[in-house]
Amino acid sequence: MKRKVLLLVVLGIFVLSGLPVFAVDTGNVVDIWHYWTAGREAQSINWLMESFRKKYPEISVEDRAIPGSTAELRQQLGVAFMGGNPPELFQVGIGYGLKSYADAGRLMPITDVWTEINGNKMFPEGIAKMIVFDNEAWAVPLNIHTINTVWYNVNIFKKYNLKEPKTWEEFKHVCRVLKEKDVEPIAAAGFWSVYALYPFLITTLGPKGYAALGQGEISFTGEKKVREAFELFKEMWVDNLMENWTGYSWAEAAQPLMKGKAAMYFCMGDWLAALLENEGMEPIKEFDFFLAPGTRNMIIGQVDALALTKGSDAPNLAKTFLEFCASTEGQRAFNRYKGSVAANLKTPSEFYGPIMSKIYHLLHKPETQFMPNLSFLMPPDFYTQFYTEIEKYAVNPTDETLDEVLNELERLRSEAFMEGKWVNWGW
Amino acid sequence: MKFGLGFRQEKSLATMLFLAVPLSLFAVFFFYPIGYTLYLSFHEWNGISPTMNPVGFKNYLNIAKSPHFRTALLNNGKWFIFYLLFPPGLGLLLALLINKGVKKGGIFETIFFLPNAITLIAVACIWRWLYTPGYGVFNEILRRVGLPGWTQNWLGNPQIATYSVMIAVLWAEVGVFFIIYFAGLRNIPQALIDAAKLDGASSFKIFKYITWPMLAPSTVIVVAFSVIGAIKIFDLIYALTRGGPAYFTSVLAVFMYEVSFNRFQMGQGAAVGVILFLLAAAVIGPYLIYSTRKVEAVRQ
Amino acid sequence: MKWLRPSLSFEKLTIYLLLIFFALLFLLPTFVAINTAFKPPREIWEVTSFPSQVYLENFKEGLYKIRRGLVNSALLAFPAMLISTFIGSLAAYPLSQFKFRGDTAVYFLLLSGMYIPYQTVLIPLFFIIRRLGLYDTIPGLWLVHTAYGIPFTTLILRNFFATVPSELMEAAALDGCSLIGYYWKILLPVGRSGIAATLILQFRAIWNEFLFALTLTQSAKSMPVTVRLQSFVSMTEVHWGPLMGATLITILPIIVVFLVFKRYFVTGLIGVYK
C-alpha cells in the first residue's frame, strides 16, 4: 500500500516537472496548421519554412501536422476557433473550402498582399477565380497537382507498338490491343473513380459545361450530354479496368502497373509519379504520361493554399510569410520536394525532374487552360455524395444503376439549389 | 461501527460516498456532451461558423431519405449478429481450452491477446496486405496451394467485403472477450468443479450446470461489449474500406463521420449520433435489466 | 506405444491441437507485421516474401521518431489505468453489494455512457478541458480517460464484485469491520480477478487511444505515442517499414502489463478462509 502511494507521488512529480508552460503563442510566432505529415510532403513544408527563416531570421515560424486530410484538419480547426486560439495560417483547398471559412467570418482577407504581388497575373486565371470572391482575396496558392494525367508503362507500349492516344478512338484501339495481349488496360483503385469521370465530362460538355456543372447550373437528368459522358466513361474506362480494382488502394494499384500486368493508370495525380520513382521506375524511360483525350489543352488540378485566420496573434508577420510563399523563391522551396508544379507562373523550372518539367511546359503553353477539380467548385455536401454515386455506377455499370444515380444526383442538385448552396465562380 | 449509526444508515452514507465521485464526473463529462449533441441535432452548422441555424427536424428527415443511411443501418444489423456470436464464442472457447490446464498456457494467452495490443493503423495496414487481390497474402497462399479459383476480392467485392472486415475485427478484438471469460473462469471456485467430478459428472454436464451459470457476470460484460461494439463499430471499417465501395460496407458510425466531417454537416451528424444513442439504449436497456437480476441470483 | 503415455490423454491432445491451430491463425497477421518491419524499403511490397537481410533501420527510425511519445504515453497510461480502475471500483461497490432504491437506474445510467460516439463529444469536451486549464497536459488526459472509463470499469467490476457472496459481508460486520474497511480489506482482494482484467484492458485502451490524444494535446511535451505514429502516414505516402517497426515497439508495454497482471486471475476466495 505504502509503496503504491509512493509510486504515485513519484510519477506525479515526474509529470508536473514536464508540464508545459501554458502560453505557447507569444504573439511573435507564425503558426501553420496542415496535414503534410510524412515523407516528401513534410519535407516540402519544412523546406519552405527553412527558406523563410534564412531570409527573415527575426520572425519565428512553427507548424503543426494533423494526421489525415481536409476533414481531420477542419475538425481541429473547428475546435481551435471555438477555443479562441486559432493558428495564423492553415492549409486549405481553393474554391468552396476556402469560401466556407471566409463566409464563417474566420478569415482575414489578404487583398493587400494579393494586389502587392499582382496575384491575378501571377497565377493561372483558373486559380485566381477560386481565390478572389466577394471583392477580396483570401489565400495564397502554393502548388498545382495535375490530375488529368494518364500514366503508362513505357515498356509495354513499346512492346506492342502503341502510341500515346490523342483521341478516344485511339484510346479504344490501345485498350483493345492490350486486352488481346492479355494485359489489363487500366489499373485503378477504389474510391478515386470520380477523377476518371472528369475527362469525359469535358469531352461532352466542354470546359465551360464542366464548370457550369460545378456551379450547379446543369441538370443531370435534363441535359443529355451528362448521360453521354457517363456512357463514354463506362465504355472507355470502366470496361477496361483491371480485375478486382475495387479492392486496391491507390498505392497498391501501382504495383500491377509497375510489374507490367496493367498498362495504364488513368487520371491519378502526379503523386503517383513520386511513388513510381521511389519504387525504382525511371521517369520517361520506364513510365510516362499523356493528358487524357478531350483534355489535351488543359490542366485539371488541385491546389493547396494557405489562408490567414481572424483572431490569431500575429497577422502582420503572417502576411510577410504569405508574401514569401507567393514569391518565386518560396514557390521553388515548397515545390522542390512536393512533386507538384508551382502555382506562381514565373517560377523557374530548372529544379523539376523530367516528369514535372513536362507538366510545367504543358502548363505554360499559351493555349493551356487551368480547370480546378470539381471538388473545389461544388458544395462539399453535394460533392461527397457525388463521388459516392459515381463509385456506385463504376462498381455496377448497368443502365438501371445509371438511371438511379442520375436521378439521385439531380435530386441532390435541386435540394442544394433550393438552399442556395451553389456558388457562381465566374466561369 | 464507525459512527454508531444503524447498519442501514451507514449503508446509505457509504453508498453516497462511494458514488459521489463517479457520478459527478459522469454528470460533467456525459450530460453536457449528450445535451450538446441533442441541441446540435436540431440545428444546421458547418463546424467552423460561430453561429448555428435552427432547423427543427430537417436533419432527421434528411437522414431518413438517404440511401446511405439505410444501407448503414442494415449493416449494423449484420454486425450485431456477428458481435453477439463470434467474439464471445471464440473468446469463451479459447478461455475454456486454456483453462483445462495446459502446460505453458501463458504463451497461448499472450498469443491470443497480442492482436488486441496492436494499434489500429497497423492492424489496418496488416489486413490490407492480407487482403490485396492481386498479390496479398491470402490470395497468394490460395494460389500456391493450388486453389486459384478460391481467391477473392476481399475488400472490394460488395457482397463479401463486410465479412472480410468482420474477420479482421474478430482477430483484433477477441483478446478482450478472451480476458473477461478467462478471468471469469478462474474466478469459479475449483472446489465446486472438483466436487462435481467426484460425483462422476461429465465435462459437458459440468459446463452446463456449473461453469456456464457461474460465468453469468462475465457473460453480462461480454454481451454489453458486443452490443456496444456492433453499434459503435467505426475504426476498422473506415480504415479498411472507408465504408466503400461506394457505401456498401458503411455503418452508422461511418455515415455519421462522413456527414459531419466530409460533408460539413455537424448538425445532421449529431442527429445520427442521437439515433445511434437511442438505438443502443433500446437494445441494451432491457438486457441489462434482465441480467442484473440474473447476476443477483448467482450471489445466492 | 511410447507416445500414448498416461499423462497425455486423448482429451488433452485434442485441446493442444486446437490451441496450436488457433495460435497459428492468430499469429499469421502479426507475423506479416514483423516480417515487414525487417525489410528495406524496396522489398516492402513483396508481401509474401521474407526479408533478404535483417534490416534494423526501421526500428531505429521508428524509435527515434516516437521516443518522446513513448514517455508521454507511459506517464499517461500507468496513472490513468490505476485511477480509472479505482474510480470504477468506487461505483461498483455499492452497485454490487447493496440494494437501494434506484440502483438499477444508476447502473443503467452509468453504462449508457458507453454508447456515446466519441466524435460527437469532442467539441464540448474541449471546452471543459480548456475551462479547467488542462489543455495540452497529461493530467488533462488522466481526467478524460478516467471519466470516459467509468462505464467500462464500472461494468466489469460491478459484475465481478457481484460474485462475492453476501454472507461475507455479514461475517465481516460481525467481526466489527466497517463498510469502508470491507471495501479495502475484503472486496478488493477477493475481486482481484476482475480488477486485474480491468487494469489490463484499461491500460490497453488508454495506451492505444487516438482521438482524445490528438484533440487535447498539441505540443511534443504531452503528445502520446498514438499521435506520433501518424507521422509515418500521410495522404499520399505511407512509410510502412518504420511504421511497423514503431508499432512493434509500442506493443511491448501492453504485453508487459498483461503478463504482470494476469497472474491475479485466480479464484478470489482463497485468502478469505483465514
The tens digit of pLDDT for each residue in C31-75 reads 988 988 888 887 888 777 888 888 888 898 889 888 899 999 999
Q: Both C32 and C61 in a single domain?
A: no
DSSP secondary structure string for all residues of chain B: --SS--HHHHHHHHHHHHHHHHHHHHIIIIIHHHHHHHHHHTEE--SS-S--EE-TTHHHHHHHH-HHHHHHHHHHHHHHHHHHHHHHHHHHHHHHHHHTT-TTHHHHHHHHHHHHHS-HHHHHHHHHHHH-TTT-HHHHHHHHTT-GGG---TTT-TTTHHHHHHHHHHHHHHHHHHHHHHHHHHTS-HHHHHHHHHTT--HHHHIIIIIHHHTHHHHHHHHHHHHHHHHH--HHHHHHHTT-STTTT--HHHHHHIIIIIS--HHHHHHHHHHHHHHHHHHHHHHHHHHHHHHHHHH-
**Residue A372: per-residue pLDDT:** 95
Q: Both C136 and C198 in a single domain?
A: yes
Q: Both C141 and C239 in a single domain?
A: yes
Task: Give the minimum alpha-carbon distance from C1 to chain B in angstroms, rounded to a whole number.
Answer: 22
Which whole number is the average pLDDT over A282-296?
Answer: 94
> Do A82 and C123 count as a contact with CB atoms less than 8 A apart?
yes
Backbone φ and ψ of A89, nearest 5°: -125, 155
The Cα–Cα gap between C89 and C161 comes to: 9
C178 to chain B: closest CA residue: B1
Confidence class for position B299, pLDDT limits 50, 70, 90: low
Which whole number is the average pLDDT over B10-37?
Answer: 86
Q: Is C260 on the interface with B (CB under 8 A)?
A: no
In a domain, C25, yes or no: yes
- Reported as a single tens digit per residue, the pLDDT across B219-274 is 888 988 998 899 889 999 999 998 879 999 999 999 999 999 899 999 999 999 99
> In what helix (H) or strand (E) does residue A298 lie, and over which residues does it extend?
strand A298-302
Q: Is B277 on the interface with A (CB under 8 A)?
A: no
**Residue B149: per-residue pLDDT:** 87
Which whole number is the average pLDDT over A360-372?
Answer: 93
Q: Both C31 and C64 in a single domain?
A: no
* A289, three cell numbers: 504520361
Pick from A60-74, A127-141, B283-297, C148-162: least confident: B283-297
C274, pLDDT greater than 70: no
**Residue B211: per-residue pLDDT:** 86
Q: A27 versus A343: which is more confidently predicted?
A: A343
Restricting to A residues 378-407, those with a Cβ less than 8 Å away from any Cβ of B are 380-381, 384-385, 388-389, 391-392, 395
Contacts of B192 (CB under 8 A, 6+ apart): B210, B214
> Do A105 and B154 count as a contact with CB atoms less than 8 A apart?
no
Identify whether the C-beta of residue A392 lies closer than 8 Å to the C-beta of residue A405. Answer: yes
Restricting to B residues 188-227, those with a Cβ less than 8 Å away from any Cβ of A are none
Pick from A240-254, B60-74, C86-100, C164-178: least confident: C164-178
**Residue A24: per-residue pLDDT:** 46
The Cα–Cα gap between C175 and C157 comes to: 25
C122, pLDDT greater than 60: yes
B2 to chain C: closest CA residue: C178
Report CA-CA distances (Å) from B295 to A329, B219, C158, C160. Answer: 72, 10, 10, 10
A333, pLDDT greater than 70: yes
Q: Both C132 and C223 in a single domain?
A: yes
C269, pLDDT greater than 50: no
The Cα–Cα gap between A29 and A10 comes to: 35
> Do A380 and B50 count as a contact with CB atoms less than 8 A apart?
no
In a domain, C264, yes or no: yes
Find the radius of gyration of the CA atoms of chain B: 24
| SS3 call for A33 | strand
The Cα–Cα gap between A396 and A415 comes to: 26
Backbone φ and ψ of A136, nearest 5°: -135, 160
Which whole number is the average pLDDT over C144-173?
Answer: 85
The Cα–Cα gap between B54 and C250 comes to: 45
Q: Is B113 on the interface with A (CB under 8 A)?
A: no
Q: Both C30 and C61 in a single domain?
A: no
One-letter amino acid of C223: M
CA atoms C248, C254, C257, C262: torsion sign: negative
Q: C193 versus B154: which is more confidently predicted?
A: B154
In a domain, C46, yes or no: no
> Do A280 and C42 count as a contact with CB atoms less than 8 A apart?
yes
Complex ipTM value: 0.87
Nearest to A147 by CA among A14, A388, A341, A395: A341
* B145, three cell numbers: 496451394
Nearest to C215 by CA among A72, B183, A424, A47: A72
> Do B10 and C240 count as a contact with CB atoms less than 8 A apart?
no
> Do C233 and A251 count as a contact with CB atoms less than 8 A apart?
no
> Do A247 and B154 count as a contact with CB atoms less than 8 A apart?
yes
> Do A41 and C138 count as a contact with CB atoms less than 8 A apart?
no
Which whole number is the average pLDDT over A218-233?
Answer: 95
Q: Which residues of A touch B132 (CB under 8 A)?
A: 247-248, 252
**Residue A19: per-residue pLDDT:** 47
Q: Which residues of A touch C236 (CB under 8 A)?
A: 39, 41, 269, 271, 274-275, 339
Which whole number is the average pLDDT over B130-140?
Answer: 90
The Cα–Cα gap between A266 and A289 comes to: 9
In a domain, C147, yes or no: yes
The Cα–Cα gap between A232 and B154 comes to: 29
User: Could you tell me the end-to-end alpha-carbon distance of chain B, in angstroms, rounded to an integer?
Assistant: 26
**Residue A423: per-residue pLDDT:** 94
> Do C230 and A275 count as a contact with CB atoms less than 8 A apart?
no
Task: Give the minimum alpha-carbon distance from A39 to chain C in angstroms, rounded to a whole number.
Answer: 7
Report CA-CA distances (Å) from A95 to A386, B48, C270. Answer: 17, 16, 70
Q: Is A57 on the interface with C (CB under 8 A)?
A: no
Q: Both C70 and C33 in a single domain?
A: no
Q: What is the layout of strands, in order, in the sheet containing A304-308? A: A60-65, A29-34, A89-93, A304-308, A139-141
Per DSSP bridges, beta strands A369-372 and A298-302 are: parallel
A279 to chain C: closest CA residue: C42
Confidence class for position C255, pLDDT limits 50, 70, 90: very high
- Number of independent structural domains in chain C: 2
Contacts of A10 (CB under 8 A, 6+ apart): none
* Widest distance between CA atoms in chain C: 75
Confidence class for position A281, pLDDT limits 50, 70, 90: very high
What's the DSSP call for residue C67? H
Which whole number is the average pLDDT over C180-200?
Answer: 82
Which stretches of chain C sit within 8 Å of chain A by CB? 41-42, 45, 75, 78-79, 82, 122-123, 126-127, 130, 133, 135-139, 214-215, 218-219, 221-222, 227, 230-239
Q: Which residues of B touch A388 (CB under 8 A)?
A: 68, 246-247
Restricting to C residues 87-116, those with a Cβ less than 8 Å away from any Cβ of B are 87-88, 90-91, 93-94, 98, 100, 104, 106-116
- Reported as a single tens digit per residue, the pLDDT across A397-418 is 999 999 999 999 999 999 999 9
Nearest to C73 by CA among C203, C161, C168, C266: C203
Q: Is A319 on the interface with B (CB under 8 A)?
A: no
> Do B22 and C110 count as a contact with CB atoms less than 8 A apart?
yes
Q: Both C72 and C159 in a single domain?
A: yes
- Assign domain B41-299 to its CATH architecture: Orthogonal Bundle (1.10)
**Residue C48: per-residue pLDDT:** 76
Task: Give the minimum alpha-carbon distance from A218 to chain C in angstroms, rounded to a whole number.
Answer: 32
Task: Give the minimum alpha-carbon distance from B65 to chain C in angstroms, rounded to a whole number.
Answer: 22
Q: C178 versus A334: which is more confidently predicted?
A: A334
Q: Both C17 and C63 in a single domain?
A: no
A194, pLDDT greater than 90: yes
**Residue A8: per-residue pLDDT:** 63
Q: C119 versus A230: which is more confidently predicted?
A: A230
Q: Both C71 and C32 in a single domain?
A: no
**Residue A10: per-residue pLDDT:** 59
- Reported as a single tens digit per residue, the pLDDT across A86-135 is 999 999 999 999 999 999 999 999 999 999 999 999 999 999 999 999 99
Identify the residue among B36, B48, B162, B234 best suited for mutation to test binding to A, counting A beta carbons within 10 A and taking the highest. Answer: B48
pLDDT cut 90: percent of chain B above it: 46
Q: Is C76 on the interface with B (CB under 8 A)?
A: no
pLDDT cut 90: percent of chain A above it: 79
Q: Both C33 and C67 in a single domain?
A: no
Domain holding C213, by residue range, is 57-271
In a domain, C173, yes or no: yes
In a domain, C51, yes or no: no
C144 to chain B: closest CA residue: B29
Task: Give the minimum alpha-carbon distance from C125 to chain A in angstroms, rounded to a whole number.
Answer: 10
The Cα–Cα gap between A313 and A286 comes to: 50
Task: Give the minimum alpha-carbon distance from C103 to chain A in angstroms, rounded to a whole number.
Answer: 31
- Nearest beta carbon to residue B288 from set C18, C111, C262: C111
User: Could you tell me the end-to-end alpha-carbon distance of chain A, in angstroms, rounded to an integer?
Assistant: 74
| SS3 call for C99 | coil
Q: Both C19 and C70 in a single domain?
A: no
In a domain, C47, yes or no: no
> In what helix (H) or strand (E) does residue A380 lie, and over which residues does it extend?
helix A380-395
B85 half-sphere exposure, CB direction, 13 A CA radius = 8
C188, pLDDT greater than 80: no
The Cα–Cα gap between B186 and B211 comes to: 10
Residue holding cell 460484460? B221
